[in-house]
Amino acid sequence: MALVPNPVNDGPVFAEVDMGGDSSSPTVRATVVQAATVFYDTPATLGSLHFSCPPLYLFLCENCLLFAINHLMHMEALFDKAERLLAEAASYGSQLVVFPEAFVGGYPRGSNFGATIGNRTAKGKEEFRKYHAAAIDVPGPEVVRLAAMAGKYKVHLVMGVIERDGYTLYCTVLFFDSQGHYLGKHRKIMPTALERIIWGFGDGSTIPVFETQIGKIGAAICWENRMPLLRTAMYAKGIEIYCAPTADARDLWQASMTHIALEGGCFVLSANQFCRRKDYPAPPDYVFSGTEEDLAPDSVVCAGGSVIISPSGTVLAGPNYEGEALISADLDLGEIARAKFDFDVVGHYSRPEVLSLTVMDQPTSPVTFTSASANAEVAKR
């Protein structure tokens, strides 16, 4: 802040302080990606694919070989698309790029995996096998590749993936810094509705907020953004750039995003896919249950609505419902302090003697062994 000197004659006792013209608060250019994934992609090398029948002396049955080749082609298509979008965002000067929920691995919109109460069909089980094969291990080769992309284009990267942990899948967000380092992950703690038959539940150990060169970054996925206690935990960690990858394209989603920006005094970056029916496999390999007969190849099945909102509730960019797009805005980080002056939900506007929250943030495991070596093996899963 600049000091205004006192006049020589009859001036005020104290110097006035110029409260304007402060250029010290940094600005971050951020982009949310609104694009469709390549569905049933397998982000793995040929040697690490999960085959339906085991290889014998490195020979594969014809079906497994065709399956492997097909998935490798999809993997290359997906990562080529992700890198192209990342490169384009970087060319606009973006320092942070946020991708949608389940961009790697796919969001199985419209599928019921053959599940009804008391029954699972053989076709649904095969659909899950394919979906499991399309997921990625964390850590794993795909994580290394994403880290290399972040480092190559010198951007902080937030990527929605389907994580494979043994035979359980998680809807996960991965974080990378602009030097190409993998920072960590957030697993969705509460899948919504039928998502619960295909995804596991994250625990309190993966609710991170990472301090980076461009601010404190974290994420909540889709409808877990509607969980007040989860949001409060993230506010308590000092989140400044709140990423909200989603699959919800309804108008009501915008109200939630605006509320979070105001409540948390943070920037909110929501990234959703824009998908048409033709972005998914054709029937009978993939069926949108209950609506397939009404869909043409160009029918929109997810309309996007990606948006960037400031801590004051101002929409900086978006929402976009027109098609695939890169939605960018410059984030003036000084807006955070200005918003917190009004309302700091875990600071001066809190009443801990009346209302408080305890977060169980230790990793949980269904099995604990008495030997350290056995527990180490469990931790590797």
202-241 pLDDT tens trace: 999 999 999 999 999 999 999 999 999 999 999 999 999 9
Percent of the chain with pLDDT over 70: 82
User: How buried is 202 (Cβ within 10 angstroms: 0-12 exposed, 13-18 middle, 19+ buried)?
Assistant: buried
pLDDT of the residue at 91: 96
The candidate with the shortest Cα–Cα distance to 161, out of 219, 113, 240, 216, is 219
Distance CA(135)–CA(170), nearest Å, equals 9
pLDDT of the residue at 77: 77
Sheet containing strand 27-34, strands side by side: 182-187, 168-176, 156-165, 96-98, 27-34, 325-332
Element housing 191 (H / E): none
Across the range 261-270, mean pLDDT stands at: 98
Burial 323-362 (b: 16+ CB within 10 A, else e): ebbbbbbebbbebbeebbeeeebbeeebeeeeeeeeeeee
Whether pLDDT at 168 is above 90: yes
Whether pLDDT at 59 is above 50: no
pLDDT of the residue at 11: 46
Distance CA(288)–CA(295), nearest Å, equals 9
The candidate with the shortest Cα–Cα distance to 109, out of 120, 100, 118, is 100
CA angle 39, 43, 46 (to 5 degrees): 120
CA end-to-end distance (rounded Å), the chain: 53
Q: Tell me how far CA of residue 71 lies from CA of 48, 65, 68, 346, in angstroms.
A: 12, 10, 5, 47
The candidate with the shortest Cα–Cα distance to 163, out of 102, 78, 230, 246, is 102
pLDDT of the residue at 318: 94
Across the range 313-329, mean pLDDT stands at: 97
Do the Cβ atoms of 146 and 157 come closer than 8 Å?
A: yes
Q: Give me 142's structure tokens.
A: 């795909």
pLDDT band for 62, please (50, 70, 90 cuts).
low
The candidate with the shortest Cα–Cα distance to 267, out of 52, 95, 49, is 95
pLDDT of the residue at 148: 96
Whether pLDDT at 108 is above 90: yes
CA angle 336, 103, 156 (to 5 degrees): 40
Across the range 45-66, mean pLDDT stands at: 42
Distance CA(377)–CA(167), nearest Å, equals 16
pLDDT of the residue at 23: 58
Q: Tell me how far CA of residue 60 lies from CA of 27, 43, 50, 66, 68, in angstroms.
A: 54, 19, 12, 9, 10
Whether pLDDT at 14 is above 50: no
Active site residue 101: yes
Whether pLDDT at 190 is above 70: yes
Determine which one of 62, 76, 101, 377 is catalytic. 101
Q: Give me 327's structure tokens.
A: 């939605």
- Identify the three-state secondary structure at position 75: helix
Task: HSE, CB side, 13 Å, CA atoms: give it for residue 86.
Answer: 27
329-353 pLDDT tens trace: 999 999 999 999 999 999 999 999 9
pLDDT band for 71, please (50, 70, 90 cuts).
low
pLDDT of the residue at 377: 66
120-152 pLDDT tens trace: 999 999 999 999 999 999 999 999 999 999 999
Across the range 257-283, mean pLDDT stands at: 96
Whether pLDDT at 56 is above 50: no
pLDDT of the residue at 189: 97
Q: What share of the chain is helix, strand, coil (3-state, %, to 5)?
A: 30, 25, 45
Across the range 264-293, mean pLDDT stands at: 94
Element housing 83 (H / E): helix 62-91
